[in-house]
Amino acid sequence: MASGSKSTKKVAATAVPHGSQPFLASVNYYFDKAAKYIDLPAGLIEQIRACNSVYYMQFPVRIKGNVQVVQAWRAEHSHHKLPTKGGIRYAETVDQEEVEALAALMTYKCAVVDVPFGGGKGGIKINPKNYTVDELERITRRYTVELIKKNFIGPSVDVPAPDYGTGAREMAWIADTFQTFGNSDINALACVTGKPVGQGGVRGRTAATGRGLFFATREAVNDPTLMKRLKMTTGFSDKRIIVQGFGNVGYHAAKFLQEGGATIIGIIEYDGGLLNPKGIDVEALYKHRQATGSITNFAGAKTIKNGNSLLEHECDILVPAALESQIYKDNAPRIKAKMVVEGANGPVTAVADEILLKKGVFVMPDMFVNAGGVVVSYFEWLKNISHVRFGRLDKRFEEGSNTRLVNTIERLTGQSLSTTERGMLARGADEEDLVNSGLEDTMIGAYQSIMETMRGDKRYSTDMRTAAFVNSITKIGVSYQLLGIFP
């Protein structure tokens, strides 16, 4: 039998975290640092910071002829907007604090990019590499049943998504289980995002976080004031980048940054790193990893045994896109990058963040940088509850209008366009075009808004994370006040 508890509890106040500092302490430290600059009632600030509900469960699963008791969590950090939203992580390191920290980050992230959800997060304490596909399916379906039983999942309640160790396959199992139990709900598919396209997913979701990271970085490197301060020129052409993690976020980020003109000089994985000052061909490396199971011994770069030593290597932009707490008090003083772009959640601890700030390193915070995943998850949820693919109604109409316009221009000018030019001008937007366009607009808008806040206050005029928290907390505070809960 499963055991569970749903609690409404207050998160203890955080002292300035030192040493190896837990992830949750770092998130709360960042929150408290920003809250000082915001004029909202103390009780409201406390409510925004608190994790509203946590469901801890243990359930039995038959594994290789034995019964294994699996530990799992789902946290709903904030209900100021519903549903709550956030990924599900499969890792041996998962515990309640990690899930709460990630759920809190989701609340702040959604607010900073204007996605109308509260934050949530789930985790199962397993190493997925130790299980067969059948076993993973059994664990995932049983976890979903536990969430259904306690009303911790549903299109208007709490909507999970992929995170570290999970992907479209697991999301399809969750959707199928939910549909089986709630088959009269016409919106059942909206109970989870990150699904395969054939199962109600949206085109562009898999690459969304890496693509969003690219848009965020592109805004920064095209910002003349910022580049001048960091003593760099604008654009990607002279930017040397090192990426940690070659999973969903890291691979797509590296691919889009390379396509944008940057040079990917280093890639770090758990079993080693790669270095090539002239640049690593990201697609060729992807194929090499598919063929061999590892990025190491790739012919296009030198293999470095201690991969994480590359975090400290000379480069312009460092993109930690693997796990939390990778840049901490010991290695932070040796970081040579001028910018750190947080692809992962919480890759820089609070103490390290202060060290980097003092060194003049520009840190682009996770809550903004990796928000692309939740932005496109929001689009997927909208698609599921509206029951129509984006572009289905207007693509042909748009193409017809554009063709008539091109014909008119040709007639009036007496010039004719080539077939390729006509195709480019007349083409109507399909689902992926619209998703990518919505993502791009969101990332650009959020960058401008955070930078405006940062540059508007001398007390944190170089600290983008604090500015992002100020924006986020202010928006959540206004939302609570409009609900009439707080004066």
Binding interface with ligand NAD (CB under 6 A): 162-165, 209, 244-250, 268-270, 321-323, 343-345, 370, 373
- Please, what is the minimum distance in Å from the beta carbon of residue 109 to ligand NAD? 8
Q: With contact defined as beta carbons under 8 Å apart, do 148 and 181 qualify?
A: yes
Q: Closer CB to ligand NAD, residue 118 or residue 165?
A: 165
- Please, what is the minimum distance in Å from the beta carbon of residue 164 to ligand NAD? 4
Three-state secondary-structure class, residue 383: helix
Q: Which residue is nearest to ligand NAD (CB)?
A: 247
Q: Closer CB to ligand NAD, residue 109 or residue 338?
A: 109
- Please, what is the minimum distance in Å from the beta carbon of residue 346 to ligand NAD? 7
Comparing CA positions, the residue from 87, 100, 91 lying closest to residue 71 is 91
Q: Closer CB to ligand NAD, residue 195 or residue 395?
A: 195
Three-state secondary-structure class, residue 432: helix
Comparing CA positions, the residue from 451, 222, 352, 229 lying closest to residue 239 is 222
Q: Closer CB to ligand NAD, residue 4 or residue 343?
A: 343
Task: Show Cβ contacts of residue 260 under 8 Å, excluding neighbours closer than 6 positions.
Answer: 214, 218, 236
Q: Exposed, middle or buried, 69 (CB in 10 Å: 0-12/13-18/19+)?
A: exposed
Nearest-angstrom CA–CA distance, 340 and 320:
8
Dihedrals φ, ψ of 8, to 5°?
Answer: -110, 115
- Please, what is the minimum distance in Å from the beta carbon of residue 69 to ligand NAD? 24
Per annotation, catalytic residue among 33, 85, 121, 239: 121
Nearest-angstrom CA–CA distance, 67 and 1:
12
Dihedrals φ, ψ of 96, to 5°?
Answer: -65, -40
- Please, what is the minimum distance in Å from the beta carbon of residue 298 to ligand NAD? 14
Is 121 an active-site residue? yes
Using alpha carbons only, give the angle 454, 455, 461 rounded to the nearest 5 degrees: 65
What 8-state DSSP symbol labels residue 117?
Answer: -
Please identify every residue annotated as catalytic. Answer: 121
